[in-house]
Amino acid sequence: MKITGVQIDTVCVPFLKPIRWAWGTGFETRRNIIRIHTDAGIIGLGETKGSEVVKSLLKSMETHLLGADPFEIETFLRKTRIAPYFTGYSAFCAFGGLEMALWDLMGKAVDLPVYKLLGGKCRSAIEFSGYVFPQYDGDSAADESSAPEEIARFCVESVKAYGFRTLKLKGGIFSPDTDIKTIARIRDMLGNKVKLRIDPNGAWKPQTALRACRLMEKYDLEWFEDPTWGIENMRRLRKDLHTPLATNMCIVDFDQLPIGIRLEAVDIVLGDIHKWGGIKATQKLAAVCSVFGLGMTIHSGAELGISTAANLHVTAATPKIEFPIDTHYIHYKDDIIKGGRFQIKDGCMKIPDGPGLGVEIDEEKLKQFGNLSHNKQKPGEMSAVFDQTRRPDWVPEPMIW
């Protein structure tokens, strides 16, 4: 079986309501959907970030796949390994999407689900944390004074609807004091029924983060994720807190990993099939985390059903991914996979048992969401389309407050 071509389609699936984070407002997720064709008629599916930069890298990497055996993943990665030197994060996203499609091809070729190829599943279902964003209602932003009550109510509704046992709040949209009040209100309304995390996306200065995190420690959070910016600032903060620190921002590749470990900057690393460069890279990250006693889970970059399936398979087959993984899934209007969206019950999704990733594309949905966008993206912009004009007024740079 040889690879004969790579097909890429870009889709934009809207959120039910625009979601807010420290650096802007998201209206939809933009994704590049990948199909790798073979001379055996088998098609491998992949998915990754939807920027034009990633799309151009996917096209350029096609030359290293044409005529290749899809089982020779390491050969492909070795041929393209210099790409991140020039294009950084985008190259890893391109690797991740193409490698995902290769795993799907392999699974289909041998009629086995991907988790079997990765060592077999050690879990029968995968637990998720519910992602909690302050939302826009139409064009109106929630008033800061009402945010704690509105967000806490959304948490209660999410737990009731999906059975989440862990919730992660996006902080940094409002003042740190409002985030503290919000965490307090969530804990008030849900008690100890759920574990709580908060992720301000590095928006706080170290001094502000120290004050805010200390005040939140009494609410028994599972972790603080990137409360401040950078490995050095996280190291300083970790020395003065009892609650673990997690990251998806200061340690995001294998060059940063030994620095973060040596400086003891974090306790938990969030892997990502796209940002770390694939399923194999994610399992290699898990091995390093095991050796150095770090916790690990999986980050959500607003992935649709194909990438969600890949997350399910890699988590099923990787014992080290020991915490509930993230998902934006409850915020989408739809998906582009056959049979509709994955279902979340008791906070979990079932692992697909079909060959490969176990999902197929719904061609009508692919067409429906093809190249639709609330905010037409320019090359280099984020793949989850964020309107930077709707950033909070107080965010002039990454570290504020």
**CATH code, domain carrying 208:** 3.20.20.120
Q: What is the pLDDT of residue 82?
A: 82
- 170 with 194, same domain: the answer is yes
Q: Is residue 142 classed exposed, middle or buried when 0-12, 13-18 and 19+ CB atoms within 10 A define those classes?
A: middle
The pLDDT score that the predictor gives to residue 86 is: 79
- 155 with 143, same domain? yes
Place of tokens 């990438």: 307
* CA distance readout (Å), 123 to 211, 255, 325, 341, 358: 39, 31, 13, 21, 17
Q: What is the dihedral of CA 129, 133, 138, 143, to 10 degrees?
A: 140
Q: Are residues 124 and 105 in the same domain?
A: no
Mean predicted confidence (pLDDT) in 367-384: 60
Query: Can you tell me which residue has the tokens 């005040």?
Result: 215
The per-residue pLDDT for 5 is 97
Question: Would you say residue 21 has pLDDT above 90?
Answer: no
Evaluate if residue 401 carries a pLDDT over 70.
no
* Average pLDDT rounded to a whole number, residues 121-142: 82
Which band of pLDDT confidence, cut at 50, 70 and 90, is reported for residue 141? low
Beta strands in 178-324 (DSSP E): 195-199, 223-225, 245-247, 268-271, 295-298
Domain-located, residue 66: yes
Whether 383 has a pLDDT exceeding 70, the answer reads no
Measured CA to CA in angstroms, residue 86 lies from 63, 89, 341 at distances of 18, 10, 36
Same domain? For 106 and 119 the reply is: no
pLDDT of res. 312: 98
Our count of domains for the chain comes to 2
What CA–CA distance (Å, rounded) separates 367 from 97?
Answer: 20
Span 75-94, pLDDT tens digits: 998 888 888 877 888 999 99
Residue 254 to residue 286: CA distance in whole angstroms: 12
What does the pLDDT look like over 297-337, one tens digit per residue? 999 999 999 999 999 999 999 999 999 999 999 999 999 99
Query: Is residue 80 one of the residues assigned to a domain?
Result: yes
Instruction: State the CB neighbour count (10 A cutoff) for residue 157.
Output: 11
What is the structure's pLDDT at 393? Answer: 52
At position 138, the amino acid (one-letter code) is: G
Q: For residue 4, give the 3-state DSSP assignment.
A: strand
pLDDT, average across residues 175-183: 96
pLDDT of 26 reads: 86
Same domain, 251 and 351: yes
The residue behind tokens 């460069």 is 277
> Are 149 and 76 in the same domain?
no
- Residues 102 and 34 grouped into a single domain: yes
CA trace torsion 383, 388, 390, 394 (10° rounding): 130
Residue 184 is classified by DSSP as H
Q: Say which CATH number the domain at 36 has.
A: 3.30.390.10
Query: Which structural domain range is residue 275 located in?
Result: 115-362
Mean pLDDT of the chain: 91
Indicate the pLDDT class of residue 137, thresholds 50, 70 and 90.
Answer: low
Asked, for residue 73, whether it belongs to a domain, the answer is yes
User: Sorting pLDDT into bands at 50, 70 and 90, what band is 379?
Assistant: very low
| Residue 190 predicted with pLDDT over 90 | yes
Looking at the fold, whether 213 and 225 belong to one and the same domain comes out as: yes
Position 398 scores a pLDDT of 44
Segment 149-176 shows an average pLDDT of 96
Residue type at position 74: E
Query: Is the model's pLDDT at 117 over the cut of 50?
Result: yes
pLDDT confidence of 261, banded at 50, 70, 90? very high
Burial (CB count within 10 angstroms: exposed 0-12, middle 13-18, buried 19+), residue 149:
middle
**pLDDT value of position 378:** 45
Q: Residues 188-200: what's their mean pLDDT?
A: 97
- Residue 33 within a domain: yes
194 occurs within a structural domain: yes
Query: What is the mean predicted confidence (pLDDT) over 367-395?
Result: 56
Domain assignment present for residue 59? The answer is yes
- Residue 368 forms part of a structural domain: no
202: left (phi over 0), alpha (psi -120 to 50) or beta: left
Mean pLDDT for the stretch of residues 150-164: 97
Say if residue 275 is in the same domain as residue 223. yes
pLDDT of 29 reads 93
What integer is the mean pLDDT of 220-227? 98
- For residues 221 and 244, membership in a common domain is answered with yes
Residue 400 falls inside a structural domain: no
Same domain for 140 and 167, yes or no, is: yes
**pLDDT band (50, 70, 90) for residue 380:** very low
Residue 401's identity, in one-letter code, is W
18 has a pLDDT exceeding 80: yes
Same domain, 40 and 186: no
Distances in whole angstroms, Cα of residue 113 to Cα of each of 76, 106, 187, 359: 22, 9, 40, 10
